[in-house]
Structure 1
Amino acid sequence: MVEELANYLSECDIEVLDLDGLTLPVPKEGEHKILIAPGYNLVEMMEEICEEETLSEYVNKELEQVQRLGMKDVLGKIVASRLAYTDIALEPEELEGKSFEELYRSYSLLWEGSEMLNEEFGESDTEPFDWNTAWLQGKVEEDEQVILLTLPAEAGYEAPLWVPMGGYNECPLPEHQSVIFKHFQQMYQIKIVAVSEDTWILQAGKRPRTFDEALRLAKEHFIFCQYVMDGFPTLGHYADYLMKHDIWYFWWD
C-alpha cells in the first residue's frame, strides 16, 4: 500500500520511513513536513483521481477552483450540505451573501438547545492531542511504514489536494479543505503536520489574541469539523483551548 501511494506522489518531495524508530519531524520555517499514514481509502481516492489525469494535473485544476472561492463561500457550502437532509434544509443559494454569524446560526440549528453551543468563557483543562508514533501505528493499516511529504511554506494549503481525503459523510471535499487551510495559513500561520484517511493535524504558528477572536475561530472549526467539540463541554471552553494550545485536531467519523 505504501508503494502504491508513493507512486502516486512520485512528483512530490517524499520519503518513505519505517515506523520502527521513527522520530516525528519538527516543522521548519519555510516548509511543511507532513506525515501520511497510508490507508486503503487514500489509495482508492488516488486511483479514482488518476484514472484520467496525473495527480499534478488534478491539483492544478482544483487550485483554480480554490483561488475562486473564499472561506465564507466554502463554509456556506458545508452548512448547506449538513442541513440538506434535515427538516431545516436550505439550498446553497439561500446562504449566499450571508454573514459568517448568519451561517453559524443556521448551522447551529442542528444542535438547537444543546449546552455545547454556550459561548460564554469557560476555563479549559483539555490537553492538546498527542500525535505520537503510537497514533501513527494505530492508523497504518498494512505496512509498518509512513510517507513524509514536504511542501513549501506557501503551498501548505495545497496538502488536501496532493493527499485527497474527504467528500464522504460529513468530511468536506478536498478543495473545500484547501480553501479553509489557506484561510488558517493566512490568519494563524498553521503548519500541516499529519494526515490519515480520516484525520488532519495542524500546528498553529500563532494563537487568537482575544476571547472574541478565539470564539470566532472555534465556530469556524466547528463548522469545518463538528468532532472538534469531543471532549469540550461548550464552545466557550474550546475557544479557551485555542488560546492556550497550538495543536488543532480534525477527525471525521
Structure 2
Amino acid sequence: MSSELLNYLQPYNPLSIEAKKITFPIQAQEQFYSLLVIAGDNIEEMIEDTLDDYDSITDYVEQQLEQMQQMTTLDTFRQLVSNQLLDTELAEQVEQINRIDWTSLYEMYSKLWEGNSLLDEQLVPNQVNSLVSHLQTASEEADEWIELPLPTGKEYIAPLIIPMGGFNECPAPILQASVFQYWHHKYHAIPVVVGESMWILQVSTKPSTNEEALLLAQEHFIFCSYVLESFDSIGQYATYLLEQDIWYFWWD
C-alpha cells in the first residue's frame, strides 16, 4: 500500500488492515463506524487529482460541505437526472428540471428506460437473500485495506474524504455525500466499504411500508441504475429493501 495515500488521509487517522481480518457485516465499535477502503492505485489518483485544487483533503471536505449545505435533496436528485439526460435524445428537457417535483422528475428519468420491464413497480417476492457476497468478493480484491474512522453523526461525508466519482454515470462526490446525508437521516445509512467504482452502505432502519420501499428503490435507481442488475424489476428491488440492510452501488 502506498505510504503517500496514508499520508493524504492522515487527518482522519487511517489504519492499514489485512483483508483477512475483515468480517461482515460491519459492526460499530463503541458506536464509532469505520469506512473500509480498497486502497488501489485509482483511489490514490482520484485523491491526487482532487488535491490539485485544494491545500489538503480537509480543506476539500470543508469547502464541499459548505456547498452541500446549500443544496436540497430534490436539488441533488434533479442534478443526478440532469446529468443522465445530457447526452440523450431527452437533453432538451434538462432546462425544465429545476421547475418540477419528485413525481415528474422520476417520470422524466423513466423515459430513458421506456418499455423496459425493469420499471415494473409490482412488489414481488425477492430472490436475492443478501448482497453481503459483494462485500466478501470486494475483500478479496486487495491484501491490505485502509480502515478509516468516520465522524460520529456525519458518516455521510465519506465520499468527500474518499472522493471517488465524477466519471461516466458515477455521480460527483458532492452529490454522493448529499444523497448519503439524506439516507443517513432517514435510514441511518452508513457507508462501510468504498472501492474505485463502488460503495456499500449498511442501514439500521428499513422502509416501513411498501410505498416507502418503492420510493426508496426509485431513489436508488436514479442514484445508480446498476442496482437493478441483480433484480428482475424495481418492484422486486423494493421488496429486497424491505428485508435486507445492505445497499450495494457500483458503476461501470
Written as runs of structure 1 = structure 2, the 5 A alignment for 1:171-190 is 171-190=170-189
Rounded Cα–Cα distance in structure 2 between residues aligned with 1:116 and 1:69: 30
Once residues 249 and 89 of structure 1 are traced to their aligned partners in structure 2, the CA distance between those partners, rounded to angstroms, is 28
Aligned to 1:135: 138
What is the one-letter code of the residue matched to 1:13?
N
- How many aligned residue pairs are there? 249
| Residue-by-residue CA offset, 1:125-178 (whole Å, 9 max, x unaligned) | 21221244542222x3xxx21100111231111000000000000000000000
Q: Deviations over 1:4-25 (max 9, x none)?
A: 2211101002211122444455
Looking at structure 2, the residues matched to 91 and 29 of structure 1 have their Cα atoms a distance apart, in angstroms, of 49
* RMSD between aligned residues: 1.5
**Distance (whole Å) between structure 1 residues aligned to residue 239 and residue 137 of structure 2:** 27
Distance of aligned partners of 1:133 and 1:15 in 2 relative to their CA distance in 1, 3 Å threshold: farther
Contact 1:35 1:149 in 2 (8 A): yes
Distance 1:132 1:250 in 2: 11
Q: Superposed, which structure 2 residues align to 1:193-212 within 5 Å?
A: 193-212=192-211
1:154 counterpart SS class: coil
After TM superposition, the structure 1 stretch with the greater mean CA deviation from structure 2, 171-180 or 79-88, is: 79-88
CA positional deviation for 1:32? 2.2
Aligned to 2:48: 47
**TM-score normalised by L of structure 1:** 0.93
Once the two structures are superposed, the pairs formed by residues 1-253 of structure 1 within 5 Å of their partners are: 1-24=1-24, 25-28=26-29, 30-52=31-53, 53-90=55-92, 92-130=94-132, 131-138=134-141, 140=142, 144-253=143-252
Distance 1:238 1:22 in 2: 27
SS at match of 2:103: helix
Could you tell me whether the CA contact under 8 Å between 1:9 and 1:55 is conserved in 2?
yes
C-alpha distance in structure 2 between counterparts of 1:149 and 1:31, whole Å: 11
The letter of the residue matching 1:59 is V
Instruction: Provide the rounded CA distance (Å) in 2 between the counterparts of 1:79 and 1:191.
Output: 24
Aligned-pair CA distance for 1:92: 4.4
The answer (yes or no) to whether the contact 1:19–1:133 under 8 Å persists in 2 is no
Shift >6 Å, 4+ stretches: none
| Conserved 8 A contact 1:2-1:146 | no
Q: Does the CA contact (< 8 Å) of 2:36 and 2:194 recur in 1?
A: yes
Q: CA deviation at 1:204?
A: 0.9
* TM-score, structure 2 normalization: 0.94
Q: Distance in 1 between matches of 2:239 and 2:30?
A: 27
SS at match of 1:41: helix
Q: Which moved more, 1:85-94 or 1:241-250?
A: 85-94
> Residue type matched to 2:77 in 1?
L
